[in-house]
Amino acid sequence: MMILKIGGLIIDGFASLAPMAGVADRAFRELCKEYGAAFTVGEMASAKGITYNDRKSSELLSLTSSERPAAIQLFGHEPDVMADALLRAMKYEPDFVDINMGCPAPKVAGNGGGSALMKDPHLCGEIVKACVKVSPVPVTVKMRTGWDDNSINAIEVAKICEDAGAAAITVHGRTRAQMYSPPVNMDVIRDVKKAVSIPVIGNGDVTDGKSALNMLEYTGCDFLAVGRGSLGRPWVFEMINKYLRDGTVMEEPPVEERMAVMVRHIKKLCLYKGDRIGIKEARKHAAWYIKGQRGAASFRNEIGAISSIDELECLAEKVIKST
């Protein structure tokens, strides 16, 4: 196992669940933790929303003992508002707080938050400094390589964040302009690792044990964060852990197990969010769980019409019988 030190927090393992809006909620975080995620980071929450006592922001920040160690993630672009939000969020007792400097979504970056912060390295430092000053827990940063190919500045921003007191940095190896393709740029992650003395967590295109080892060996990063590689595949953490521990290659689970995990996942969703919201959100997760299965295209059409757990269980049986 690897040892990751985030301030005074010591974490054993290899890979964490990356923060993903609309995905990394309590139900999914708990599942990934069961499968060996070393720690989890919740969905990003608006700093401004927190200061306005927004109910949705409160839901995004809630953490349970079964998903720890766990962090909350804040986004915004005003240092004082970010610091105020961090203090208010302490009632949820996060193990550390992550600052979002990587979200490419127009509604976030278009308002100056997320990846747009990469365009203003000085502001990145001011935000980290303001948050560290008031925070009783470590403060970390998740960033991209830059805004676009003409402004790849992750090394500069990482150094500034380190100087401002950040305890660790996660680098998603793409610019904002690249969104989620082409393949991740591991050269930049490697260069950031060389440039700072705090832990660097590599993120992007880690989907199994071999890609995890490749990221670690090529970049020299201290840990891994898995995002899209876990969609419909919470067991990816077990695959990574087994491979990095002793070279064991774990195959994808049989369809019966995958469908059982899917149903359990959706039942958790409905338990925590209510049937109406849970079933609505279940549709995207179900589409990920059946990806690659025979007849997946036609099953996706059925998924769009699912309105109950019973219907989901019927679909799971049909998927199993189709193989």
- Active-site residue numbers? 103
H/E run at residue 72: strand 70-75
Using DSSP's 3-state secondary structure scheme, residue 89 falls into helix
Question: CA–CA separation, 98 vs 71, rounded Å?
Answer: 7
The H or E element spanning position 309 is helix 309-321
| Cα–Cα distance, 260 to 285 (Å, whole number) | 13
Task: Output the CA–CA distances (angstroms, integers) from residue 38 to 1, 4, 33, 68, 190, in the order listed.
Answer: 10, 10, 7, 9, 22
For residue 149, give the nearest of 117, 101, 182, 194 by alpha carbon.
Answer: 182
Q: Burial code of 138-159, b = ≥16 C-beta within 10 A, e = fewer? A: bbbbbbbbbbeeeebbbbbbbb
Q: Are 13 and 2 in contact (CB under 8 A)?
A: yes
